[in-house]
Structure 1
């Protein structure tokens, strides 16, 4: 059993903390050496702008930077496929070079000998830790859209543990050697908005044992032993659609996928940002809570529908015309007699936004810190999921909540949050600022009203970009959601979008902020893969072997774009900025 308490009990645990105890715990959390500073757990709340002197409590820790190193990064090697057709095996391939980008300002000679580091950290995004036996999954759409289900989904926990192992092994920033000070995960930490997935996520990040199995503890109950040929059945001779493409038969795969995983936990403090899959059913629907709970914890699971019906439904979902899930409910009711009977499990219940906050604030979830992982008791009291925190003496971070509780997978900001963001930027006019969110700017086009605040307007990406451009010390907006690497100049700052860790190429990104002492700053971005071997061994179903399979299966997943790695200029980069 996980050492992280369930989210059901987390709210009660937080309620038992008086404010003085909580603040004391916050101030004392793991002093992590980064650029000579122990960075604290967060300096702001959603209720008020953080004070400009928020860094005053940081304790100095002497720690010399390491020598810059490519080891463990895509500057050293990257997984590459052998062959050109069919199921392709992976092996270590050529490294990705670093591209210098000067669209915002030019690069001056000699800067490498002058630069000093201001911040160095890691971004994770779109882990999608998945209960693959959950009744409210939309795998049944695969008949009309192959990408609606991933053959490797059962291995998300093993893959996350391997990524954490890789981050722990990095000595410092690959470009500067500066000590890494924290990790930020930019949302879609879970996949089905399920309490058990949230418990798995917190345990993976903090360290501990995770058994990625729900329902009947004795055997798997899901689409991979359903007999439907639309899905890969690794332990059967069934000639399914994926085996027809070359996917292997792997006896014992499902049993191995449900075994207990040991996560080493991050050695660095980590911060959390919420994504649409953390807040909505399947990342899309704003169902009524009672309906979602009854279905998620119940005994009925729809596994397949016709290809024509699946395609019609997928198209409507992409258009965003059913944010409350009315048509989804109708579809599920129409196929009630076609559903498989599975073992009910209360741990699959959806978590509320308050429960998400409470789970992070639970003292049992502190791990390497900070307490709350950016969130505070003020967030819980006010029902907000955005905050500011001190990165270093010179740099402040802002984590936004871009999910739209009104439904659909695109996002937006409510008026209250947009005004808070403006106040926070003004309060930190003398600091450099890095903004984090789940959605990237072009995906912030959702105007569905928040059911809890029906009178509040919603605001899109253009408004956020314009606001950030009015504050010249904003350096970057770092996000995910698209599952694709993309770096875009925004006149005064860089928008950095990073690929997921569920779809190939399964990456995280190291970001280093440096002062070139010539009127310019540089942001170095370096992509890293998990610690799993590049080459797989079909006979190795250990935790390490499964993590390697996770990557290779994701590369071969039908229907997945082969462009998610982005262009070379979206990968390992040096991004130049004018020094304001």
Structure 2
């Protein structure tokens, strides 16, 4: 079932809260495709009459596979919701995140059930994943993600036998939704937003289950949540040790300066572990996933395509930008995560130079940086750019020497065969 046939929309109110209401979900009629005639000229039927489609792709992004029991998550910062100084640090916890792996498995089944693209009728040739597959730059999160995409047993839990998350009934904080209830009275989500009690939900969510796995080739992409703690903080050696250890922070560090909290988290996230803590079960599988390990994890037996797009050059150079050529289209995957920290992205100049070279290869005519028309002997091919960050979020100035977003945009405008940019990040 596609959204052109049917949509899911908010339904009747099930429970009222003091701030908003908790609603059911119901189905509604589908939404039609809009033909951008200001871009194409002809109407939809005339376009389809020209010939067969060149490429049909699926697109997924920002799945945020989450280890909800990780000691290196700082959910207590939700006390500062509404304080603009903490905007880039939030959200660090979502009430539904324990169900995330199950939702992704359902998305995989839905993608597999699509027999043909809704407009062209072509089979889907490739799925493009544009980053933030995981939430906290942890190896065990990535193992869960690959099990979901490649098929097999998925284990959302980590640590010990008992679930040790902020949503557990005995967790000493009432600002999180506790589906089983808790010993401290109704939580904030039940009171303010009408969330229900669902006894046993957390236990069921953490049980291992089987994923069907994608039945089509897929290619990956590096996002800020693969690079950084909670997508913001540099994974320092101190934080890396805390990820696999047995103490979890539950309180704001003494004397925290709200005005500098963001930059403190960016450069020294381990400082946020200096407040009150509780004991949790240590787990070595929570080790951080650096860029080399991220790329290497895609080179698995049976991967389609090999390395899920990543190349031997990426393995050698510890980079994660590459190209993937189909029979008709060149896909160029960029790495826009900022190694210097922060949620927004940037593009380093060596990657920009590489991009220009790869665009030249598929243009018979292009415009150089001085505005001159250049003719080549290269055959024309259409180009799709994929990255985690959209252009308007490439504004992270923390990495010295990175190219500004308008420089990337000017480069793309010099090459007329670039027809589409795929990205994620903003969760729209």
TM-score range, shorter chain: 0.7 to 0.9
Residue 229 of structure 2 corresponds to residue 281 of structure 1: yes
Alpha carbons of structure 1 residues 474 and 323: separation in structure 2 relative to 1, 3 Å: farther
Identify which of 149, 154, 159 aligns with 1:205: 149
Tell me how large the CA RMSD over aligned residues is. 2.0
Identify which of 19, 22, 27 aligns with 1:87: 22
Work out the CA distance in 2 between the residues paired with 1:164 and 1:96: 22
Q: Quote the offset at 1:422 in angstroms.
A: 0.1
Q: Secondary structure at the match of 2:12?
A: coil
Work out the CA distance in 2 between the residues paired with 1:212 and 1:104: 44
Matched residue, 2:87: none
Residue 384 of structure 2 corresponds to residue 440 of structure 1: no
Alpha carbons of structure 1 residues 351 and 110: separation in structure 2 relative to 1, 3 Å: closer
Q: Secondary structure at the match of 1:445?
A: coil
Structure 1 unmatched ranges of 5 or more: 1-71, 450-455, 485-580
Structure 2 unmatched ranges of 5 or more: 14-19, 83-90, 364-379
Q: Quote the offset at 1:309 in angstroms.
A: 6.5
Alpha carbons of structure 1 residues 330 and 323: separation in structure 2 relative to 1, 3 Å: closer
* 1:295-374 correspondence runs (5 A): 295-305=242-252, 312=258, 316-317=261-262, 321-322=263-264, 324-326=266-268, 328-333=269-274, 335=275, 338-363=276-301, 366-367=302-303, 369-374=304-309
Work out the CA distance in 2 between the residues paired with 1:114 and 1:433: 20
* 1:210-289 correspondence runs (5 A): 210-216=154-160, 218-225=161-168, 226-236=171-181, 238-244=185-191, 245-288=193-236
Residue 117 of structure 2 corresponds to residue 182 of structure 1: no
Work out the CA distance in 2 between the residues paired with 1:415 and 1:158: 39
- Whether the 8 Å contact between 1:361 and 1:376 is mirrored in structure 2 is no
Work out the CA distance in 2 between the residues paired with 1:79 and 1:407: 36
Residue 349 of structure 2 corresponds to residue 415 of structure 1: yes
Q: Quote the offset at 1:103 in angstroms.
A: 4.1
- Whether the 8 Å contact between 1:301 and 1:339 is mirrored in structure 2 is yes
* 1:469-480 correspondence runs (5 A): 469-480=413-424
Work out the CA distance in 1 between the residues paired with 2:385 and 2:357: 14
Identify which of 279, 288, 291 aligns with 2:238: 291
**1:490-535 CA distances to partner (integer Å, 9 max, x unpaired)?**
xxxxxxxxxxxxxxxxxxxxxxxxxxxxxxxxxxxxxxxxxxxxxx
**1:167-221 CA distances to partner (integer Å, 9 max, x unpaired)?**
00000111011011010100001101001011111111110101111111x2101
Work out the CA distance in 2 between the residues paired with 1:272 and 1:224: 31
Residue 365 of structure 2 corresponds to residue 424 of structure 1: no
Q: Quote the offset at 1:105 in angstroms.
A: 4.6
Work out the CA distance in 2 between the residues paired with 1:349 and 1:112: 50
- TM-score normalised by structure 1 residue count: 0.65
Work out the CA distance in 2 between the residues paired with 1:240 and 1:134: 21
Q: Secondary structure at the match of 1:88?
A: strand
Q: Quote the offset at 1:340 in angstroms.
A: 1.0
Identify which of 402, 420, 423 aligns with 1:458: 402
More relative contact order in 1 or in 2 (CA 8 Å, sep 6+)?
1
- Whether the 8 Å contact between 1:143 and 1:305 is mirrored in structure 2 is no
Matched residue, 2:371: none
Q: Quote the offset at 1:370 in angstroms.
A: 1.1
Work out the CA distance in 2 between the residues paired with 1:473 and 1:262: 42
Work out the CA distance in 1 between the residues paired with 2:243 and 2:393: 28
Q: Quote the offset at 1:113 in angstroms.
A: 2.7
Q: Quote the offset at 1:446 in angstroms.
A: 1.6
Task: Give the aligned length.
Answer: 391
Work out the CA distance in 2 between the residues paired with 1:114 and 1:386: 34
Q: Secondary structure at the match of 2:23?
A: coil
Work out the CA distance in 1 between the residues paired with 2:326 and 2:76: 44
- Whether the 8 Å contact between 2:153 and 2:211 is mirrored in structure 1 is yes
Alpha carbons of structure 1 residues 324 and 371: separation in structure 2 relative to 1, 3 Å: same
- Whether the 8 Å contact between 2:73 and 2:92 is mirrored in structure 1 is no
Residue 62 of structure 2 corresponds to residue 118 of structure 1: no
Q: Secondary structure at the match of 2:397?
A: coil
Residue 3 of structure 2 corresponds to residue 74 of structure 1: yes
Matched residue, 2:41: 106
Q: Quote the offset at 1:148 in angstroms.
A: 3.6
Q: Secondary structure at the match of 1:301?
A: strand
Identify which of 186, 192, 203 aligns with 2:136: 192
